[in-house]
Structure 1
Amino acid sequence: MAQIDYFFTVVSPWVYLAGDRLEQIAARHGAQVRYVALDGPALFPRTGGQVLAERHESRKAYRLQELKRWSRKLGRTLDLQPAYFPVNPAPASYAVIAAQAAGGGDLAGLVQAFPRAVWAEGRNIAEDAVVKAILAENGFDPAVADRGMFMAADVYVKNLDEAVARGVFGLPFYIVGEDRFWGQDRLEMLEDHLAGR
């Protein structure tokens, strides 16, 4: 069984736009998804990139055009100026990591729910009440975030180190063996790879 290591940040609009396409691809090809939540803003300077606030205005403008185009193409509602962005990704990321360790809910749904909350629902995923509500909405005990916080904080740091070591430089990022795919717009190529095309 192939394993897809899925590196993501809960605050990325591109992760939101990916939706559940990765899970559909994995199901079609009998692959397993390993979710690796990490601190996206911390990844960029470690791999030669820049955080959004420091990018040239032309890059920021193009990003907005691309987000508009992709949201229209995929038929997904996306607020280009969400009420709670930028937002601290750590609380929601810790919740994903703790939920993954605890089990018992819909992990894929949880991973998709946090970026959707930012980019389509106007929710503040740095607020404890919102994090717990989203955990519950996806079948997890809301208290898992509190119980697993210290473990999750440690894993969160290790996930960033793993990402850098394995050549991840943007998000979302997918790795199958030695093959790497950057961006939700490479999901078709990931499927081709799994299909041996």
Structure 2
Amino acid sequence: MGPDGPTRGTDVAAKRSKVPRFYFNFRSPYSWIAYRDLMGRYPDVAQAVEWHPWWEPDAEGERRMAERRRRFPYTAMSRDKHLYVLQDVRRLTADRGLTVTWPVDMDPVWEVPHLPYFLAVDADLGPAYIERVYRARWEEGRNICDRSTVAEIAEELGLPAGPLADAADDAELRGGRGLAALLALSEDGAFGVPFFTLGYDKYWGVDRLSVFADAVRSRGASGTGSGPPPGEVPPSGADFAAVRSGDQGHAGGCG
């Protein structure tokens, strides 16, 4: 996989791409569940799709999008929706033999865990980074917006800790591949996660993954999948203690 694989085609309207895409996000428990399903149940589809990070931009990111006459789709989440997410995720994880450890987010800046993904891709470690960040957040309950957490993950993967931990401060990365990723999700109408596209067809939510996978298989679609090689599928479950979180989902992004 080349370094530009996961963002190939962002200069063309994403909705016109014939390559299947998976918009993933580290914040959303639904995106984590979809990731586990994709890797465990549809590894061939994971290899076929382009993987695109989706995150809520900070003020600088929103400003850069506005300069391109784009906006991030945001809808405030109600208290009732938060409570529903708790129940729903509990059901979904129990059905899969997973035990979620709810993290607590303190003033999160989502560029911190998401922008390093591009640097991991450059080192051909994009899949490993995705797996490790998801595990840190949803199985270990760690704060992935803490730069020290990102630094530790980088060291575990044999990557330079400093550049990954401080990727959010990299103006070139923010204004280049980071902005391209935000514009792509806007062009594709990816209003939440997990979000999948195949040509003009869009699929939102964990419960649409099977339909998306069937469509990808039936069309014989192929792309620049950034999932792990065949056979390197994450374990189906692990036993972790559950704790209550101050952030049970995110606005507009629960599928």
TM interval, short-chain normalised: 0.7 to 0.9
Higher helix share: 1
How far the C-alpha of 1:156 sits from its partner, in A, is: 2.1
Matching residue of 1:132: 151
Cα distance in 1 for residues equivalent to 2:129 and 2:188: 25
| Residue 115 (structure 1) shift | 3.0
Does the 8 Å CA contact 2:38/2:46 hold for their aligned counterparts? no
Q: Is the 8 A contact 1:11 1:114 kept in 2?
A: no
TM-aligned CA deviation for residue 161 of structure 1: 1.8
Alpha-carbon distance change, 27 to 58 in structure 1, aligned in 2, over 3 angstroms: closer
% identical equivalent positions: 22
1:143 deviates by 4.4
Residue 123 of structure 2 corresponds to which residue in structure 1? 103
- Post-superposition, which runs of at least 4 consecutive aligned residues in structure 1 deviate over 6 A? none
Please point out which of 156, 161, 175 is paired with 1:142: 161
Q: Which has the higher contact order (CA 8 A, sep 6+)?
A: 2
**C-alpha offsets along residues 89-135 of structure 1, whole Å, 9 cap, x if unaligned?**
111111112222x1232x22312322332222122212222112223
The residue number in structure 1 matching 2:238 is none
What is the CA–CA distance in structure 2 between the aligned matches of 1:157 and 1:84, rounded to whole Å?
24
- Report if the CA contact (8 A) 1:84-1:124 is conserved: yes
Contact kept? 1:95, 1:152, Cα under 8 Å: no
Segment of structure 1 superposing worse, 160-169 or 11-20: 11-20
Deviation at 1:144, TM superposition (A): 4.5
Relative to structure 1, the CA distance from residue 3 to residue 23 in structure 2 (aligned partners, 3 Å threshold; closer, same or farther) is farther
Give yes or no for contact 2:93–2:99 (8 Å, CA) kept in 1.
Answer: yes
Q: For structure 2, which runs of at least 5 residues remain unmatched after alignment?
A: 1-17, 63-70, 220-255
Equivalenced residue count is: 188
The structure with more radius of gyration: 2
- 1:115 alignment partner in structure 2: 134
Q: For residue 212 of structure 2, what is the amino acid of its counterpart?
A: L
**What RMSD in Å do the two structures reach over aligned CA positions?**
2.9
2:91 aligned partner: 69
CA distance in structure 1 between the aligned counterparts of 2:145 and 2:48, rounded to whole angstroms: 29
TM-score, normalization by structure 2 = 0.63
User: Counterpart of 1:7 in structure 2: which amino acid?
Assistant: Y
Is 2:185 the partner of 1:163? yes
Question: Structure 1 residues 30, 184: closer, same or farther in 2, change over 3 A?
Answer: closer
Q: 1:79 to 1:41 in 2, by over 3 A?
A: farther
Moved more, 151-160 or 68-77: 151-160
Q: 1:93 to 1:174 in 2, by over 3 A?
A: same
Question: Equivalents in 2 of 1:124, 1:69: separation in Å?
Answer: 24
Q: Is the 8 A contact 1:175 1:181 kept in 2?
A: yes
> Is the Cα–Cα contact under 8 Å of residues 125 and 131 in structure 1 kept in the other structure?
yes
Q: SS of the counterpart of 2:202?
A: strand
TM-aligned CA deviation for residue 163 of structure 1: 0.8
| Matched AA of 2:115 | Y
> What corresponds to 1:93 in structure 2?
114
